[in-house]
Amino acid sequence: MTRRNRLLLLIASCGLTLIPFLNSFGQDRAMNSAPAFSGGVFVTPVADAPFTAQVDQAMTQILADGSSFQRKTSAFIARDALGRIHNEAHQILPASSTQIPALLSIHVYDPATRLNTFLNPYTHIARQNVSANHPSTEPPANGWVHLKSPLSSIPNLQVQDLGTNMIEGLEVHGYRKTLTIPAKASGTDRPVVVFDEIWYNEDLHINLLTRQDDPRIGSLTMTVSNINVGDPDPELFAIPTDYKLVDMTPPEMEAREPGRVDQ
């Protein structure tokens, strides 16, 4: 398996996010030439569990020459009592940077209409489309927790229940998945241990902490903090008046969505 494919595999294990974190502009040459981690917390569009929070993402990436570098980013997320989500993408910076990561884009989703709105703060364009299906009400990255029977048939794979703990005053339940890759299949001359760890909060239906590590390509940690339970500002889910609306829904989708309401 190539280094690039291993990286894609690690990224995929993060689960599908509604908005990815993007590369920063003007990073140094090594950072620009290296594959980029992307990910973020999947904000589930569930009703009656409103909150706002901050998501911090820390990445250590192993380069082909064996050296490594660290990056970070931070973003704001929100969900209202209707289940609408506000999920931001911010600039990824070197770990040593003291800058505030610049806002790159905002994704707003309304589960009542399945309407996605993507706001670009640079062009002031709001792109909209309708999702064919409702997103999961549980983070996709958690799927392996419930598939213990099929997973148990995979050689060298273990799923461990870590019990409960507290994060930000909220109870979380932790699970760890450990996969040992034999030397012949690891692309190295020794066995490689890859692990994923999640700490899930049942009330908010999101992971408050996610850790991933593959010694061949690096590690990724995502932490949710500054959690405020309660309805956020309604303006977080509205299109600013100075934005131009562009409907990106395919015509065939519009024909199947007679009840669709544009914002």
* Burial class for 201, CB neighbours closer than 10 Å (0-12, 13-18, 19+): buried
| pLDDT score at 73 | 93
In the structure, what pLDDT confidence band is assigned to residue 146 with cuts at 50, 70 and 90?
Answer: low
Does 117 score more than 80 pLDDT? yes
| pLDDT score at 254 | 44
Does 152 score more than 80 pLDDT? no
| pLDDT score at 12 | 38
Residues 183-233: pLDDT tens digits? 887 788 888 899 999 999 999 999 999 999 998 889 999 999 999 999 999
| pLDDT score at 35 | 30
In the structure, what pLDDT confidence band is assigned to residue 29 with cuts at 50, 70 and 90?
Answer: very low
**CB distance 84 to 204 below 8 Å:** no
In the structure, what pLDDT confidence band is assigned to residue 13 with cuts at 50, 70 and 90?
Answer: very low
DSSP 36: -
Does 178 score more than 80 pLDDT? yes
* Burial class for 205, CB neighbours closer than 10 Å (0-12, 13-18, 19+): buried
Which amino acid would we find at residue 1? M
Does 164 score more than 50 pLDDT? yes
- Stretch among 89-93, 132-136, 169-173, 199-203 having the lowest mean pLDDT: 132-136
Cβ-based neighbours of 251, under 8 Å, separated by 6 or more: none
As a whole number of Å, the end-to-end CA separation of the chain is 45
For the chain, the average pLDDT equals: 79
| pLDDT score at 20 | 35
pTM above 0.85, yes or no: no
Phi, psi of 167 (to 5 degrees): -135, 125
Does 34 score more than 80 pLDDT? no
Cβ-based neighbours of 245, under 8 Å, separated by 6 or more: 126, 128, 239, 262, 263
Helix (H, G, I), strand (E, B) or coil at 6: helix
| pLDDT score at 108 | 95
d(CA 49, CA 9): 32
